[in-house]
Chain A
Amino acid sequence: MIWAIFVLLAAQLVGEVIARSLGLLVPGPVLGLLLLLAALLLVPKLADSIRPTASGLLSHLSLLFVPAGVGVVAHLDVLGANVGALLAALVLSTLLAIVVGALVFVGVARLMGPGGND
C-alpha cells in the first residue's frame, strides 16, 4: 500500500514539476496520470501492486470533493443578484452537454458498424 501511494505521489510530483517548468495550462495531476499510464504500458506488472489502492481511492472519489463543496457554500455570495440566472444556465447547459455528448458517442459508434458496440 505504501508502495502504491508512493507511485501515485511520485507521478503527481513529476507531473507538477513538468507543468510548472513548462508553464502548461494542463494540471500536474493530469500529466501524472499520463506518466503512470505510460509506465503501466511499459511495465504491465506494475498494475498488480497499485490496483487495490487505486480502486480504493477511486471508489470514494466523491469524498474528496466535499471540502471544495463546502467552500462553494461559504462563497455563495459571489453569485450575488445573478443567482437565478446562473443556476438556470448551469442546469440547462450541463444537461444539454451530457445529452449531446452521449448521443453523438452512440450515433458515431453505430455508424462505424458492429465491433464497436460490444
Chain B
Amino acid sequence: MTELTDIWVYLASEPLLWLTATLGAYLAGDALFKASGRMPLVNPVLIAVALLALVLWATRTPYPVYFEGAKFVHFMLGPATVALAVPLWANLGQVRKTAVPMAAALLAGSVTAMVSALALGWVFGLRGEVLLSLAPKSATAPVALGISEAIGGLPTLTAVLVILTGIIGAVFVTPLLNLLRIRDWRARGFATGVAAHGIGTARAFQVNETAGAFAGIGMGVNAVLTAVLAPLIISLFF
C-alpha cells in the first residue's frame, strides 16, 4: 500500500487536488441547483461549501492546505469585480434614470442593515466587541474587515458574519421579494447588492442580467457608505 500513500503525499502537497475538488464541488452544486428546477434553497455555493467541508473533515486536511489549491479560484474575485464594469456600462442609461431611487434605496438599505443588526443583536443578548462585529456585515468582505477593526469589532468574526450574510441573502431574496410582489429587476438587484454584497450579486446574475448589474452597483456604493456611516452610527448608540 506504500504506492497509494505516496500518491496521497504527492497530491496533498500540490495545489492540483484542492483546485480540482473546488471546481468539482461547485459543478455538483450547480447540477443539483438545476435539477431542483433552480430552487433558491438549493444554493450552489452552500452545497459546494458543505461538500468540501465534509471532505476536509474526513481527510483531516487543515484549511491552509486546502487554500493552497483554492487560492487560484479565490484570486479571480478581483478581476470578476472589475468585470462588473461591463454590465454596468451596458445598463448606464437605466442607471442614470434611476439615480434618485438608487440613492434613496442605498441610504435606507444601508442604515437598516447596520441599525437592525446592532439592535437585534443587542436584544438577543450580544454585547461588546461581538455586537460591534455585526455592524459592517452587509459590506463586501475586504471593506467590512477594515471597518470592524476601526470600530472596535473582531475582524475574524466579521469575516465569518459577512460570508454568512451573503449566503442568507442569496438563499432568501427570491422567495422574499416574490412574496412582496416586487417585480422591478433594478430594485430587486440593487437591494440585494446593498444587503448581501458579492454573494447576493452572484445570485442576482443567476436570475437576470439587469438585476446583476444593479446588484453590482449596490455592492460597490454600500461598501463606501458603510465605511462612512458605521463609525457615526456606533458613536450615536454607544
Give complex CA distance A70, B196 in Å.
18
Top 7 A-B pairs, shortest CB-CB distance? A101-B109, A101-B191, A67-B70, A85-B124, A29-B81, A61-B202, A69-B49
Interface of B is mostly: helix
Give complex CA distance A36, B86 in Å.
8
Known: A58-B84, A67-B70, A104-B105. 20 other contacts (CB 8 A): A11-B82, A36-B85, A61-B202, A62-B30, A64-B202, A66-B25, A66-B52, A68-B163, A69-B46, A69-B48, A89-B121, A89-B126, A94-B195, A97-B112, A98-B169, A98-B172, A101-B112, A101-B194, A105-B104, A109-B98
Q: For B188, list chain A residues within 8 Å (CB).
A: 102
User: From residue A61, how far is it (CB to closest CB) to chain B in Å?
Assistant: 4
Answer whether A75 and B159 are a contact pair too, CB < 8 Å, given A32-B82, A89-B117, A98-B195: yes
Give complex CA distance A100, B80 in Å.
28
Closest to A91 in B: B168
Within 8 A of A (CB), among B137-173: 137-138, 140-143, 146-147, 154, 156-157, 159-161, 163-169, 172-173
Within 8 A of A (CB), among B197-212: 198-199, 201-203, 205-206, 212
Contact between chains at B80 and A102 (CB < 8 Å):
no
Answer whether A63 and B79 are a contact pair too, CB < 8 Å, given A93-B113, A94-B169, A105-B186: no
- Is A18 among interface residues, defined by CB-CB distance under 8 A? no
Q: Number of A residues whose C-beta is below 8 Å from B?
A: 77
Answer whether A105 and B82 are a contact pair too, CB < 8 Å, given A25-B146, A65-B202: no
Give complex CA distance A64, B26 in Å.
9
Give complex CA distance A41, B138 in Å.
30
Within 8 A of B (CB), among A50-89: 50-51, 53-55, 57-76, 78-79, 82, 84-89
